[in-house]
A and B are shown apart, each in its own frame.
Chain A
Amino acid sequence: MNKPYEAVGLTEKEYEKIIEYLGREPNETELSMYGVMWSEHCSYKHSRALFRHFPTSGKRVLQGPGENAGIIDIGDNLALVMKIESHNHPSAIEPYQGAATGVGGIIRDIFAMGARPVALLNSLRFGDIEKSERVKYLIDGVVAGIAGYGNCMGIPTAAGETYFNSCYDGNPLVNAMCVGIIEHDKIHRGNASGVGNSVMYVGAATGRDGMGGASFASVELTGESEEKKSAVQVGDPFMEKLLMEACLELLVTGSIVGLQDLGAAGLTSACCETAARGEGGMEIDVLKVPRREKGMLPVEVMISESQERMLLIVEKGREDEVKKTVEKWGLHAVTIGRVTDKGRLTVKEGDKTVADVPAYSLDSSGAPEYYREYEEPAYYQELKKFRPETAEEPKDYNKTMMELLTSPNLCSKEWIYKQYDHMVRTCTVVKPGSDAAVLRIRGSKKGIALTVDCNSRYCFLDPRAGSAIAVTEAARNLVCSGARPLAVTDGLNFGSPEKPDRFWQFREAVIGIGEACRELNTPVISGNVSFYNETATQAIYPTPVIGMAGLIEDIDKCCTMHFKDEGDIVILLGKTENELGGSEYLCRIHGIEKGAVPRLNFGLEKKLQAFILSAVNKGFLKSAHDVSDGGLAIALAECCMEKELGIKAELKSQLRTDAVLFSESQSRFVVSCSYETLAELRQFMAKLEIPYEILGRVTGDEFRLDINNKNIVALKVREMKEAWRGAFKCLMT
């Protein structure tokens, strides 16, 4: 590496483009600024072109992609702000701080819009927990990091998902999502508008931590990655709590024109993005930036990713007012520059100009954009051919059930979520462990339901169909809670876009998400792309994590998945087909990750979702749960756990027994209702032409499934629950 641009991760062509923008060669500081801003992490240069596949607008969308976070209208002058972000590479190297700062970053994105954060979610992927001690170390650190940051902030971590697969052995995924609530007239944006307005810096001092984090995140992990620990930032949640309260208090005063968090690429990114969205120009002096280390070069100040810092654009003349409020919270605000209309980001060190570039050229509007070559990998057609019937049928289904219930992917994740304060703010109405978290909105009848979802095995076997299923399943989780799905934030985790087979996966996934979001009328309002999730030996499964939010009009009517009372009637909505391809059952019991993924029929799906929503609202249903990983048998077991109630079900089917129990056919729900409601519910189902099958009744303590009058499963719920709850702790020790 002797070319200067290679050292900052750019290509010769990109270097030429910089020269074109500047009309000269960039100096070292400028080149480093382009290096971080034009990294994949900041510029989305490989992914941007594909985003036109996403629906991003709609009558409820108040802010689509391109800002710190997306905003969706939830009525009564209220809006929901949300975004998901990955912190994969830092967490692979330093799990506690990597995960903690991921949480810190996403919280800042939410309050940068002026909203108070009300919930955190996370989506985690790790390698084979049964084979690797390092995986346990990573889980321990990541969970403690998320807990350490979120708990201290006083924001409930209300929902999440955790999956294991050896494809994540060297490259875990840590995606954090944050949701905020805001009144329409309080919405702020990262705009540097008003020539002459002050640019103020508030929060932690700048150090050398997190240097070049954005570039680090934009290459594959190698053995040398360990040496780049300095690219991982260190979090201080107490500082962030003060910063959040100070900013929210400032926003009420009207002195703030815009605000922006300092995330990836630090000051460089915050300055050029706010400038590009505002009057187009900004001038700052690095000597005025508070530092915690001596002898920092201008370039280090500009690209440091020190945490817990914000940039404020303050109405000229009101700087002292801002300082006073900030000081109340024990922090300091300093003016580091001003807004200009010269179209340039000018960085000074005292009187000396150290960088002077067109502001827009740094940010994604000026960054290069690529449409990479893609190629369908051979495995796609090959693995599809697998016929699940060739797997040997289990002889003892009681044993199979217990094996599945205690498997890493299906067992209770209470070991994880009990480390998160999920009740602080006393708004959590449905806690972790159901289909979606439900939170009330204080001072309103309304509530919100939140979920994150992705079955990455499906996405590997068929990225387009698998991604559409991820969106659809997220929506199912919400309607089961009684919420109307409103919008999506997506965390797209993939391998290297520079490899045609990986880029094919990405392209297919984006198309699949776009299609499903259009069908379900849930626009994508924000998101994040994380490429290069691979090591020398393997890439991760494509993992497009779907974060979705829904609205509950009347919080008293929300619903959970748990069976409520003995004697209630249990009904399966939808139809079970012979669809074991890519199933959890095939993977866990037979060690096979092959086959065609289940088909998705949007017509039926929409009809069922509308039915569930309306049946919950009419008060017909006592519980509702979607059938997903592990199929019908696992879904039924999950409904039994909370209240330790059993079921006596009699199924009729022409399918092989393992398919009846574990097929993962889409568009299915398990619901329960009281015996008295049944007649009315049946009429309603008939009227809407809902395919259904009455399975049986909720009973005392026995989990009993008969198929075609033959007993197949007979287990004690108490024993199932004990094994299911205790499994994760056993795996960790």
Chain B
Amino acid sequence: MTDVEALLFSLSWSQPELWLAGFALVATLVGAAFGDRASGPLSIGAALVMVIAATLAALHRPETPVVIFNGSLVVDGFSAAVKTIVGYSAAATLLLASEHLQRSGDRRFEFPVLVTLAVLGMFVMASAHDLIALYIGVELQSLAAYVMAAFRRDDARSSEAGLKYFVLGALSSGLLLYGASLIYGFAGSVKFAEIATQIGDGNAGLTFGLVFLLCGLAFKMSAAPFHMWTPDVYEGAPTPVTAFFAAAPKMAAVALMARVIYGPFGALEAQWVQVIAALAAISLVVGSVAALVQTNIKRLMAYSSIANMGFVLMALAAGAKEGAPAALLYMALYLPATIGIFAVIQAMWRDGKPVEDVADLAGLARRTPWMAYILTALLFSLTGIPPLAGFFGKYAAFLATVNAGLVWLAILAGLATVVGAGYYLRVVKVIWFDAPAPAFDRTGGAVVLTAGVSAALTVLVLVVGAGAVQSWIAISAATSFAAPPLP
């Protein structure tokens, strides 16, 4: 292939990314011309483009991994599945956000642009095939996220959330870069494919670099003990932004973690399995126990997401063959529930102001029954009650972990599930049995739509069969990670 042919070949495999980048640039121009009036149409356009990109990624799935742009990016079944999940969940949260921001008077046309660029960063993370692409993807996503956290700039809590996220995020980027520089120094290349061949049976320098890299990534997916930013940022950031943080970026961070440990460092499984298992164990404990005492529903969801990252990490620790599909399935079933819960949280307005205490939900069953049914179904799904979607994700994670011989971790996760049931069911109790609090204001259409669709997905999984989702993911993951070379 000549250079031009190679470039065109690469571009033909990166259509989802081209759509996103092109839309971001055009949307900026449109916004600059029409001002904040364009924010509504641009949000809808951005959501549409994300759906197009996700669908393209899903339909354009190669049989064997395709390495493009001179080894910088790779397109395979895994990246296709991740991009699909990221695209749809980002589109859903953007539609929710658009409605919420219109209502709270923060409609600015930059918001959909920033979300689109963040999603582009996540797509790059899902496809990263060298250390530079890894870092640029992470940074593109994080920088947009910092700005979004501080989007309500006149609100002290939002500014604080943005600043805290930025400072701690910069620290974690530093860790990540330090690890990457050590890996480059000891492996002699930034390309994942070459690192995998150079790695041999590893040495101290490479392991050192890998641990730093994993710490940086753990921060991005808010796994304990790198979680301290999560509750504060979730609470301080505007609610629609929190909903966005809780969904798509988590999937991208999990995907990147899987890429790193199963790709270039597949041969060092003995080294990273300890790190991942430790991260999983600490996340499970911290997320479950700390959530018990939260009164703010956004903080509660922050700790819930930490605990759920623990489950995903537990699945990842099981190795590429079983861990990757289990983690993907877990995320695919967990994200709709989270988005649905955040849709309900965004419907919590009273007297023209958003409220966010668990106590504000009191007696919801008597005030707005449909909302109470949806929220209850979603909370049961997160708990892992059998007929609902969340159960199948947890089941896959447990199965993979036990099969990999990490029985202690599975037992710990079982205990965490029980503790987790405690705080999820507390919310259910408040909704159904407490004396009703004053009613909420009327909700917008996007909230009803998103909450309804997510609840439908959560419940319908048992009708359509988790099997369909599972086989789709299994095929996606099976074609992606080559078996680690024998030492």
User: Do A and B come from the same complex?
Assistant: no
Q: Which residues of B are in contact with A by a Cβ distance under 8 Å? A: none
